[in-house]
Amino acid sequence: MESIEKYLVLIHVLAAIIGIGPAFVLPIITHSAKTSSQLRFVFHLNDKINKFPKFGGIILVVTGILLMVLDHTGFTKMWLNVSLVLFILIEILIIGFLEPAMKRAGKLIKKHKGEGIPEGYLPMARKINTLSRIVHTLTVLIIILMVIRP
């Protein structure tokens, strides 16, 4: 492997760790909130931490494409094509469904007065959790494909 390819692989792996790690932890933190104040804090934390998965995702795409070009792989390997399709699907789910659901839930929580969980939050949380599980499952599938390269 050429020197530049080694560095690109390193950046690619680091971007995956830095980008994916927080995305897996955030739902656990969110689920642990039991009061309105805790939910407000968690959603504030989500806003700050969500920058890592977004930035990591961009780096993953750029380094992945560069590696394909340098390796002259193109779209000849099925595992790579499936990984790209899954990645695009993940981005559609996040941008089109998960982020809007999180924003709606965050707005509901911000305007809620009192310490109880706002009425209407639980159905939103179930939808967010379902979407998160789907995204996490697809992410794990990509990681498996990247490691075993069937």
Contact (CB, 8 A) for 91 and 57: yes
- The residues near 92 (Cβ < 8 Å, ≥ 6 apart) are none
Alpha-carbon distance of 119 to 25, in angstroms, equals 25
Alpha-carbon distance of 63 to 135, in angstroms, equals 21
Distances (CA, A) of 65 to 15, 55, 73: 14, 16, 10
pLDDT per position as a tens digit, 95-117: 999 999 999 999 999 999 988 99
Alpha-carbon distance of 124 to 103, in angstroms, equals 10
pLDDT per position as a tens digit, 17-71: 988 888 888 888 888 999 999 999 999 998 888 888 888 889 998 999 899 888 8
- pTM for the complete prediction? 0.88
Provide the residue ranges of all domains of the chain, joining segments of one domain with +. 3-148
- The residues near 58 (Cβ < 8 Å, ≥ 6 apart) are none
Contact (CB, 8 A) for 64 and 12: yes
| pLDDT (0 to 100) of residue 39 | 93
| pLDDT (0 to 100) of residue 75 | 80
93 burial (CB, 10 Å; 0-12 / 13-18 / 19+) is middle
Alpha-carbon distance of 46 to 14, in angstroms, equals 21
